[in-house]
Structure 1
């Protein structure tokens, strides 16, 4: 049981995942800071914020109260997601794919011999049976 756990830990996937979570958490803080200090003020240029700090289109409901649709939060979340996805792709995925391509080029996989189709096998069996019956 302990040997299995040791193999699981030392494979590298667990460590890679742990590093990704830590880096992701740190990067999320940076993205949130950029969104709150740059993106939100830019969006608020087009939409007026209400008393709660929400900005977006305001509509009067049937009771005469104004309701603000907080599109700023949605826009911030979308931009945060895209920024995180972009960085993860260019910092982690793309370099790893290139590394794997280089490794594959250095160590080309041995092509397996293609197996004959069922029809080819049946023809071969038929020919062998004919040959044995002729003897």
Structure 2
């Protein structure tokens, strides 16, 4: 039982996933500070608000005499935050990893896209042509 757990933990996928979560959390913290320190003040210039949380708010009276506030700025801020994290992850991790894989494949002599695989219809045409040339091969 302990051996199975040890094999599970030492599998590359689990370790890679753990590293990705930790690095993702660290980059999320960096991007959150970037959004709070740079993007929110820039937005504040356009909307006269300290941050997106207080910008683009709509207050609607309720049926019981109170008010309800819809904060569309907070939604916009969350979308900007997500896109910033995704952008950083793509340019820092995904793009360099793809280039490294391409270089490794080139060194190994594997070239993708040299010759596309024939379609099923093309294979059937080739088989038909071979059978027409040598009818004894089909028996």
TM-score grouping bracket, smaller chain normalisation: 0.5 to 0.7
CA gap of 1:120–1:58, structure 2 versus 1, over 3 A, is closer
Alignment match, 1:93: 94
Q: Are the aligned partners of 1:59 and 1:66 in contact in 2 as well (CA < 8 Å)?
A: yes
TM alignment of 1:37-48, pairs within 5 A: 37-45=37-45, 46-47=47-48
2:125 to 102, 119, 122: 119
1:25 aligns with 2:4: no
Kindly tell me the number of residue pairs found equivalent between the two proteins.
126
User: Contact conserved, 1:58 with 1:66, CA < 8 A, in 2?
Assistant: no
SS of residue matched to 1:86: helix
Whole-Å Cα distance in 1 between the matches of residues 136 and 18 of structure 2? 65
- Tell me how far 1:40 sits from its aligned partner: 3.4
Greater C-alpha Rg: 1
Q: Which has the higher contact order (CA 8 A, sep 6+)?
A: 1
Aligned residue in 2 for 1:80: 81
CA distance 1:71–1:99, shift in 2 (3 Å): same
Unaligned runs of 5+ in 1: none
Task: Give the TM-score of the pair, scaled to structure 2.
Answer: 0.65
Report if the CA contact (8 A) 2:57-2:73 is conserved: no
TM-score by length of 1: 0.67
